[in-house]
Amino acid sequence: MKTKIAGIETDYVGTASGCHDTTDEQCHELASACNFFTLKSCTLEPRIGNVEPRYAMLPIGTIQSMGLPDRGLVATLDTLESIKEKYGDKVKVKASIAGFSLKENIELLMAAFQDSQADFIEINVSCPNTDKSIIGHDFNSLDEFLWRVVDTVEGDIPVGLKLPFYGSLISHERLVAIIKRHDVSFITAINSIPGLWIDTWNESAVIAPNNGTGGIGGSYIMPFALNECRNYYNLLKGTDISLIGCGGISSGVDAYRFLLAGCDAVEVGSYLEQHGPSVITEINNDLSFQCKTRCYDSIDQIKGKLKTL
Residues designated catalytic: 126-127
Strands 13-15 and 265-268: parallel
Min dist CB 88 to ligand RRO, Å, is 28
Residue selected from 6, 12, 14, 18 as contacting ligand RRO according to rule CB under 6 A? 18
Q: Which backbone phi and psi does 225 adopt, to 5 degrees? A: -65, -40
* Nearest residue (beta carbon) to ligand RRO: 215
Q: Count interface residues toward ligand RRO (CB under 6 A).
A: 16
Per rule CB under 6 A, is residue 272 in the interface with ligand RRO? no
The answer to the question of residue 128 lying near ligand RRO (CB under 6 A) is: yes
- Is 164 a residue that touches ligand RRO (CB under 6 A)? no
Q: To the nearest whole angstrom, how small is the minimum distance from the Cβ of residue 40 to ligand RRO?
A: 8
66 vs 287 by CB, closer to ligand RRO = 66
DSSP-derived 3-state class of residue 121: strand
Nearest-angstrom CA–CA distance, 117 and 56:
34
Residues 6+ apart with CB under 8 A from 208: 50, 51, 52, 53, 54, 65
- Choice from 129, 188, 270, 290 touching ligand RRO (CB under 6 A): 129
Q: Which stretch binds ligand RRO (CB under 6 A): 120-128, 136-144, 171-179, 301-309?
A: 120-128
The number of beta carbons lying within 10 Å of the beta carbon of residue 131 is: 7
Q: Which of these ranges, 20-28, 119-127, 232-240, 252-260, lies near ligand RRO under the rule CB under 6 A?
A: 119-127
The candidate with the shortest Cα–Cα distance to 95, out of 108, 113, 112, is: 113
Q: Is residue 193 within the footprint of ligand RRO (CB under 6 A)?
A: no
Asked if 66 touches ligand RRO (CB under 6 A), the answer is yes
Closest CA to 63 of 72, 54, 76: 54
Alpha helices by DSSP H, the chain? 24-33, 72-87, 107-114, 139-146, 169-179, 222-236, 252-261, 270-275, 278-293
- Find the length of the chain: 309
Q: How many other CB atoms sit within 10 Å of the CB of residue 87? A: 15
User: Can residue 38 be called a binding residue for ligand RRO (CB under 6 A)?
Assistant: no
- Among residues 41, 250, 284, 290, the one that binds ligand RRO under rule CB under 6 A: 41
Closest approach of ligand RRO to the CB of residue 17, in Å: 6
Q: How many CA atoms are closer than 13 Å to the CA of 269, on its beta-carbon side? A: 29
Q: Confirm or reject binding of residue 68 to ligand RRO (CB under 6 A).
A: yes
**124, 185, 219, 231: which one binds ligand RRO (CB under 6 A):** 124
Q: How far is CA 6 from the centre of its chain?
A: 15
Q: Does 190 bind ligand RRO (CB under 6 A)?
A: no
| Nearest to ligand RRO of 217, 262 (CB atom) | 217
Cβ 98 vs Cβ 249: under 8 Å: no
Contact residues: ligand RRO, CB under 6 A: 18, 41, 64-68, 98, 124, 126-129, 191-192, 215
